[in-house]
Chains A and B, each alone.
Chain A
Amino acid sequence: MTPLLSVKDVAKHYGNHIGCTDVSFDLYPGEVMGIVGESGSGKSTLLNCLAGHLPSDKGEVIFDTRVDGPKDTLKMSEPERRMLGRTDWAFVHQHARDGLRMGVSAGGNVGERLMAVGARNYADIRSEAVTWLDRVEISEDRVDDRPTTFSGGMQQRLQIARNLVTGPRLVFMDEPTGGLDVSVQARLLDLLRGLVRDLGLSAIIVTHDLAVVRLLADRLMVMKSGRVVETGLTDQVLDDPQHSYTQLLVSSVLQV
């Protein structure tokens, strides 16, 4: 099977400082890859390089495009990459306000990607928005409210709806449950797990929270100081960590 995403030797430095380096892996359709590691280990840097938000120093990020098959997204023209960014790719930011338009209604937020790819029927756009709000457990009567009137958990769910509405084939998520209360996190995780299962999403999820990857990820990559120190199936890595750093990570959290 052709990988959906094939990452080869990606590196990013900030001056002399390593952001991430020597990163290679394949992601297959329908697979969820978790990237874990403590704060500052290079997870966000890597994710942003993969999604094309940050220029990498080197490497290849080959995506299996619908029309042309596998293509190195780092060598794509900017229009092509941005088109990918609003169709086949989605990016869920840690802070919902970075991924939402706070001055636009919930319906407008969800509808934007549809309009960006040419939807021009108001009633259709709106009904699609309502459907997606429902899927992320936001009631229809909030469709005209701005995200500023939403709780943190609702904002995050809205951001997820806004991203998934165009049926992306690959979703990047950076600490999707970060910064939320524990009970809110649990509900969001539950929702994410349902969406991943129902939609068969392929995703790369960055988190420092092992409970998140335990629930969502098929495979794990453990990062330390910008490098991948261990990879494997999620249960394997968490139950039988090989690298001493992973052992430390696993032992330092209460197991769920």
Chain B
Amino acid sequence: MSDYNFAYLDEQTKRMIRRAILKGLAIPGYQVPFASREMPMPYGWGTGGVQVSAATLTPEDTLKVIDQGADDTTNAVSIRKFFEKTAEVGTTTETSAATVIQTRHRIPEEDLSEDQILVYQVPIPEPLRFLEPRETETRKMHALEEYGLMHVKLYEDIAKHGHIATSYAYPVKVEDRYVMDPSPIPKFDNPKMEMSAIQLFGAGREQRIYALPPYTKVVSLDFEDHPFDPSKAPHACALCGAEDSYLDEVITDDKGGRMFVCSDTDYCEKRRAEGHTGDLTKETAA
């Protein structure tokens, strides 16, 4: 038996977090303050997401943890171990086998279903922070739906780069009401946020939780003459040949060699197991 209360946090704390989650689900995109607890890991390691997961997990759940799409980074491994130890839940790397997925910076490629929950680790929950550092003021802006400033940020992007250069943490408007920071996922993932699963966002240091119920309307902000463009680099995965997945650039040698591979490692492995090949795997497979 473990010496911890189930999922580390005491029941009262989990109830408090669940209330914040429910409030967040009732007001999609609204940042609900909560009393963030000290976790046995530093801020920046997903303490917000971990607390949300802890309040969400049941003993029957199967947990998957990804960091930038991969299950095997230090961050993902340590969070997975943390819950294996404190909650004794089953874990998996398979997207479709998981009931709760905690993520940093990605949405899985595979469509999620109604019986899944996606928990995001959020570093900075306030999308207006960039231009308005005063918390009292940003809170008022949300309350009064004063979102002109968000477009000033995009205007600056175009003025400087000729196009909207924001490529991750791309701001969205939720159900025509709240402007929300989707956490630093690539803008390629933005359209996926209109999904069947519940999405929960936890910011530990900033003590905020927000949420998207299934099938919530999520629109990426843009201008009429500079419409939102979620496209990615026009490459195929070197390992599985996928043309529809988000790719990481991998340096292969010290002579400038590089290749593009799926950032979602489970997706890539699954495709390869199904026999798909990419430029790199073709020769060896042949």
Contacts and interface: CB of A to CB of B under 8 A. Distances in A.
Interface string B154-168: 011011100000000
B155 A108 contact: yes
A122 B223 contact: yes
Interface of B: 131, 140, 144, 146, 148-149, 151-152, 155-156, 158-160, 223-226
Contacts of B158: 122
A16 to B, nearest CB: 28
B144 A115 contact: no
B152 A101 contact: yes
Nearest to B221: A120
Nearest to A146: B156
Among B140, B144, B151, B225, max chain A CB count under 10 A is at B151
A121 B160 CA distance: 16
Interface centre among A107, A113, A120, by most chain B C-beta atoms within 10 angstroms, is A120
Contacts of B131: 101, 103-104
B151 A120 contact: yes
Contact of A115 (B151, B159, B224, B226): B151
A144 B162 CA distance: 12
Interface residues of A, number: 24
A22 interface: no
Question: Which label, helix, strand, loop or mixed, suits the secondary structure of the A interface?
Answer: helix
A112 B148 contact: yes
Interface of A: 78-79, 82, 86, 101, 103-105, 107-108, 111-113, 115-117, 120-123, 125-126, 143-144
Contacts of A78: 140, 144
7 contacts: A104-B131, A108-B156, A111-B155, A115-B152, A117-B148, A126-B159, A144-B159
A112 B152 contact: yes
Nearest to B155: A108
A178 B217 CA distance: 49
Contacts of A105: 156, 159-160
A104 B144 contact: no
A122 B152 contact: no
Contacts of A104: 131, 152, 156
Contact of B148 (A107, A113, A123, A143): A113
A105 B161 CA distance: 13
Contacts of B226: 122
Contact of B146 (A82, A122, A126): A82
B147 to A, nearest CB: 8
Contacts of B146: 82, 86, 116
B40 to A, nearest CB: 38
Contact of A125 (B140, B144, B155): B155
Given A104-B131, A108-B159, A111-B155, 5 more contacts: A108-B155, A120-B151, A121-B223, A122-B223, A122-B224
B152 A111 contact: yes
Nearest to B222: A120
Contacts of A144: 159-160
A122 B222 CA distance: 9
B144 A79 contact: yes
A82 B147 CA distance: 13
A110 to B, nearest CB: 10
B225 A112 contact: no
Contacts of B223: 120-122
Residue in B144, B148, B158, B224 with the greatest tally of chain A CB atoms within 10 Å: B148
Question: A86, A111, A144: which has the most chain B beta carbons within 10 Å?
Answer: A111
Given A82-B144, A115-B148, A115-B151, A122 B156 contact: no
B156 A123 contact: no
A101 B131 CA distance: 8
A136 B155 CA distance: 21
Contacts of B151: 115, 120
Contacts of B155: 107-108, 111, 115, 122, 125-126
Contact of B225 (A82, A103, A117, A123): A123
Closest A-B pairs by Cβ, 9 of them: A116-B148, A115-B151, A115-B148, A122-B223, A79-B144, A121-B224, A144-B159, A108-B152, A112-B152
A150 B224 CA distance: 31
A115 B151 CA distance: 7
B7 to A, nearest CB: 41
A120 B149 contact: no
Contacts of B159: 105, 107-108, 126, 143-144
B165 to A, nearest CB: 13
A79 B159 CA distance: 30
A115 B4 CA distance: 52
B148 A122 contact: no
A124 to B, nearest CB: 8
A126 B151 CA distance: 13
Contacts of B152: 101, 104, 108, 111-112, 115
A248 B218 CA distance: 64
